[in-house]
Structure 1
Amino acid sequence: MRHLRTFPACLVLALCLVATTLAQPARAVTLLRDPDIEHALGQLAAPILQAAGLNPARTDVLVIDDRSLNAFVVDRETIFIHSGLLLKMETPQMLQSVLAHEAAHIANGHLVRRPQNMRNARTAAGLGMALAAAAGAISGNASAAAGIAAGAQGTATRLLFAHTRAEESSADSAGVRYMVRAGRDPSGAVAVMDIFRGQEALSAARQDPYARTHPMSSDRVRVLKRLTAAYEGKTPPSNSDLYWFARAKGKLSAFQRSPKWTINRAGEGGFADVGHMRTAVAWHRQSNLQKSIAAMDRAIAARPNDPFYHELRGQILMENRQFGAATNAYGTAVNLAPNHPLILGSYGRALVAQGQHGQALQVLEKARSRDGRDARVMRDLAVAYAKSGQNGMASLVTAERYAMIGRLDDAEIHATHASGLLPNGSGGWQRAQDVLSAAKAARR
């Protein structure tokens, strides 16, 4: 099935958590890694993050493939939002209010009371621990998830996501300030709150995760209405915010809703190029390459220097096994965005398919150095190393990829093989020992 690029983000700690800890089974937590959607979310988040005193270049907004409604933070550099919540948002202000609220948890120091040894979510291991905790929150057992994902079984009662009402009220107030400071209408926060009203009356099993992880009260709603009343309707969304909101939500819905639904509504966002992009995705999902490329070319004609449209054109061609044309499309995207890790990863994949393994190694290593959280890049790296005759490195990268997705037995096999092929004491050999240590720790 054709879909947005995804990878399972559960390391050994997450698997141990799911297998042995949760009273209710945690769902698999999968990230949607799409360069266009992440860029659009970054554009919407940037003014809010700056208003919060955070660095937009160091704070990612990542999408979890889950139709339930939730958003959360686990460290100072990552905001997670469920795909279901993104699709539920009706205006840029609603989405930005969610981002402002989560940014407030970071800026107000609410993370300090969470497990101190939670590693940075920018690393593969840190991401796995973060999403292990997310799985626990979704299933209703966030405390155990947080404790075990952070390696702190003795403090498993420390809730990673269960914010106090005081923290929520503080984040509400700060979020409104950030929205106003950024020149955005904060009343979207009330519209978001209205979605969740009545959730606390439901049993935990029926609540959306947002209601479980963000405790609400009638007092919070009243205060939020009072704080936002003076600003409602006075600052309409900018054309830029409307555009990037249409772009993020439009592409996500084009991949997740039926093609017929998308084609019937492709032009609703008010931006012609976004409509063409959505139509291209819909025809692609119906295996009509000719119509898909024609629609994609119309989108590119409207924005010829947009790397993300060229990247999507490459994806459509790649998934139709047009490897040469896909490589050219990805190459154009890389020329326009030479340091974007997800675009580099796609280009490297196409080079591997073309048999250009030496160039693929350079591109894929650059992608991995800029974002070490993509298991697809590691898979393609292993293939490129093997095809280049570097079997030790191929085994090492394979071991690391298996460790990333929680298959520690397989990771141990490949790490052992890599240890025997790589020079003793070298950087690669040391990385193999790290995988072996993780595998051994998992069996204890």
Structure 2
Amino acid sequence: IVNDPTFNAFAGGRYMGVNTGLFTFAKTPNEIEGVIAHEAGHLAGNHSARSAEAMANASKPMILGLLLAGAAIAAGAPEAGMGILGLGQNIAIKDFLVYSRSQEATADQSSITYLNRLGKSTKGAMDIWSRMRNYQIITGQRVNPFLQSHPLANERFSALQTRAMESPYFNVEDSPEDIHRLRLIQAKIKGFLHEPQQTLRDYPLSDQSDPARYARAVAYYRNSQIEKALDEVQKLTEAHPANPYFHELEGQILFEYGRTNESIAPHRKTVELLPDNALMRVNLARALIASHEPDLIDEATTQLKRAVSMERDNGFAWFELARAYAEQGETAKADLATAESRFQAGAQADANHFARRALPGLERGTTEWRQAMDIILATQPAEGAPPLPSANPPRPSSLPGPEQREPQDTSKPDVPDPVVIDSN
């Protein structure tokens, strides 16, 4: 999901991107399903890989035009050379755009096929193209259809109309529950991404619906009107105690405005309702760590270990786990969690450094020791790397006399100084 207010989606390789603008533009969940089905058509057709081949083929007339233009200029006809150069470029661009429009038309047809297979209505796809067609008629009368990467909305609508309306599922409507869920999604997006004053205009106090309360709660929170925000969200949690996202918002508001102990209960409720969601466990752990109470720190460590087991690549969860270990005095484990956090962020040098710091304090052969070794080996420079630190470093051969040194516990390896982490 891409933070972009424009109505758009895209696909390439094995990935699909959907703009937030698609969610706010759509009137029904079925319209979103129609767009996703279209993008699935691009993925199934491997269009991104074939586009590279089409681009290479389209570049041939441009290269030929470049050679002919060079020859014409060398022969003393610079104006003719520039004309040939421009002609080659135009042919190349138009050839590629023809191929691109063909891909889009194929994906449109695939979307109807996929929706039918799933028993989903094709009406949403037609409604999207109908609204886009009306928009283009109003604003794009002078658009040259041959210079577009996509077919015009009117052409898309006409090409799909017969197949879509013949679908046995054409008149299947979204359930009231699905429509309500979309309205909540739209309210949350607008609350967080639009200016608070705009959100409050779009959702006035006269609107007492759940989506309006949700949007206003976020707008008030972003506008530092905390009591108003909590009033709105608590009315939602009272009316819908099984909705985890209302509890999540309440916990976020309380935590981010310094009421950390109060934020623990709603975050716990969220984890109870969504036990398989790593983000909710991280939110709870952050509130627990902020309490600085040993028992709660232990609980935070448990929550974060569960979170990183669900999402190994969650660098923020590893960072919070490092904080929890540091609160417990587990310096080596804090270094190891920091190494994982930096590794997931792509900072290989930092990851190597912290893993090396952690290794001497970890018992050889344990899971943590192997984890540190994996990071070191995965991030080690090809040449000139320092030797691996020993898990049991040798004692110096010359030590001061007993009267000059304090008693030491020689059963434990030397542990590096604790890491100072900038929370910013």
Q: Is the 8 A contact 1:74 1:111 kept in 2?
A: yes
Q: Bigger CA drift: 241-250 or 95-104?
A: 95-104
Is 2:110 the counterpart of 1:174? yes
Aligned to 2:252: 315
Aligned to 1:227: 163
Distance 2:322 2:357 in 1: 14
Amino acid at match of 1:277: Y
Distance 1:384 1:98 in 2: 43
**Alignment match of 1:342 (pick from 254, 273, 279):** 279
CA-atom RMSD in angstroms? 3.6
Q: Bigger CA drift: 356-365 or 67-76?
A: 67-76
Is 2:188 the counterpart of 1:251? yes
Is 2:353 the counterpart of 1:417? no
Aligned partner of residue 379 in structure 1, secondary structure: helix
**Alignment match of 1:291 (pick from 228, 238, 246):** 228
Q: 1:165 to 1:243 in 2, by over 3 A?
A: same
Q: Is the 8 A contact 1:395 1:415 kept in 2?
A: yes
Q: 1:165 to 1:244 in 2, by over 3 A?
A: same
Q: Is the 8 A contact 2:8 2:18 kept in 1?
A: yes
Is 2:331 the counterpart of 1:391? yes
How many residues matched? 321
**Alignment match of 1:354 (pick from 283, 291, 300):** 291
Q: Is the 8 A contact 1:243 1:271 kept in 2?
A: no
Aligned partner of residue 64 in structure 1, secondary structure: coil
Amino acid at match of 1:357: I
Q: 1:216 to 1:109 in 2, by over 3 A?
A: closer
**Alignment match of 1:276 (pick from 213, 228, 247):** 213
Distance 2:342 2:209 in 1: 42
Aligned partner of residue 312 in structure 2, secondary structure: coil
Q: Is the 8 A contact 1:266 1:279 kept in 2?
A: yes
Q: 1:366 to 1:254 in 2, by over 3 A?
A: same
**CA-CA distance at 1:65 after TM superposition:** 2.7
Distance 2:381 2:126 in 1: 47
**Alignment match of 2:267 (pick from 321, 324, 330):** 330
Is 2:172 the counterpart of 1:238? no
Structure 1 residue runs of 5 or longer lacking an equivalent are: 1-62, 115-162
**CA-CA distance at 1:70 after TM superposition:** 4.2
Distance 2:377 2:6 in 1: 36
Q: Is the 8 A contact 1:341 1:370 kept in 2?
A: yes
Q: 1:254 to 1:189 in 2, by over 3 A?
A: same
Distance 1:399 1:249 in 2: 38
| 1:200-241 per-position Cα deviation (integer Å, ceiling 9, x unaligned) | x79xxxx9xxx9xxx523565542334324469733332122
**CA-CA distance at 1:442 after TM superposition:** 9.8
Aligned to 2:308: 368
Q: 1:233 to 1:176 in 2, by over 3 A?
A: closer
**Alignment match of 1:98 (pick from 29, 32, 35):** 35
**Alignment match of 2:121 (pick from 185, 188, 191):** 185
Aligned to 1:429: 369
Q: 1:86 to 1:409 in 2, by over 3 A?
A: farther
Distance 2:183 2:383 in 1: 47
Q: Is the 8 A contact 2:307 2:317 kept in 1?
A: yes
Aligned to 1:217: 151
Q: Bigger CA drift: 166-175 or 90-99?
A: 166-175
Q: Bigger CA drift: 235-244 or 323-332?
A: 235-244
Aligned partner of residue 80 in structure 1, secondary structure: strand
| 1:375-422 per-position Cα deviation (integer Å, ceiling 9, x unaligned) | 321221110111122222211221221222233332232122123332
Distance 1:174 1:441 in 2: 47
- Structure exhibiting the larger radius of gyration computed from Cα positions: 2
Aligned partner of residue 250 in structure 2, secondary structure: helix
Aligned partner of residue 338 in structure 1, secondary structure: coil
Q: Is the 8 A contact 2:339 2:351 kept in 1?
A: yes
Structure 2 residue runs of 5 or longer lacking an equivalent are: 51-98, 385-424
Q: 1:389 to 1:252 in 2, by over 3 A?
A: same
Q: Is the 8 A contact 1:395 1:418 kept in 2?
A: yes
| 1:220-267 per-position Cα deviation (integer Å, ceiling 9, x unaligned) | 554233432446973333212211211112101100101111122226
Q: 1:191 to 1:402 in 2, by over 3 A?
A: farther
Q: 1:261 to 1:230 in 2, by over 3 A?
A: farther
**CA-CA distance at 1:102 after TM superposition:** 3.1
Distance 1:383 1:92 in 2: 41
Give the TM-score normalised by the residue count of structure 2: 0.65
Aligned to 1:260: 197
Is 2:321 the counterpart of 1:381? yes
Q: 1:224 to 1:439 in 2, by over 3 A?
A: farther
Identity %: 28
**CA-CA distance at 1:191 after TM superposition:** 4.9
Distance 1:419 1:176 in 2: 56
Q: Is the 8 A contact 1:273 1:300 kept in 2?
A: no
Q: 1:357 to 1:174 in 2, by over 3 A?
A: same
